[in-house]
């Protein structure tokens, strides 16, 4: 809620850089599309780890050591002429 929003306001400002170079490690497609990533080089891994540690101390939640881009694909797809379909 509001407390989490307040504590995470400056998340981007906490990063040493707003660009982290990553390599794609794999892709999976189940209930969501997940592109597994890993840091391109060790200095990137160190920068991300430092940023995550700093950020999560302020936000107050933990994190995994994994990296990934994901998007949920749980939308219902209905034919355009279905009476339940809405824009």
pLDDT digits (tens, 9 = 90+) for 27-70: 988 777 889 999 999 988 888 888 888 878 877 777 777 888 87
Model-level pTM? 0.55
DSSP 15-84: SS-S---EEEEEEEESSEEEEEEEESSHHHHHHHHHHHHHHHHHHT----S-EEEEEE--PPP--TT-TT
Query: CB-based contacts of 33: which residues, under 8 Å, 6+ apart?
Result: 27, 70, 71, 73
pLDDT at 24: 92
């Amino acid at each position: 809620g509001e407390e989490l929003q307040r504590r995470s306001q400056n998340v981007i400002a906490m990063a040493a850089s707003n660009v982290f170079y990553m390599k794609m490690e794999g892709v999976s497609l189940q209930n969501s599309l997940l592109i597994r990533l890993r840091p391109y080089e060790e200095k990137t891994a160190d920068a991300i780890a430092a940023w995550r540690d700093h950020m999560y101390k302020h936000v107050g939640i933990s994190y995994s050591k994994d990296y990934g881009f994901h998007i949920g694909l749980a939308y219902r797809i209905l034919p355009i002429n279905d009476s339940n379909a809405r824009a």
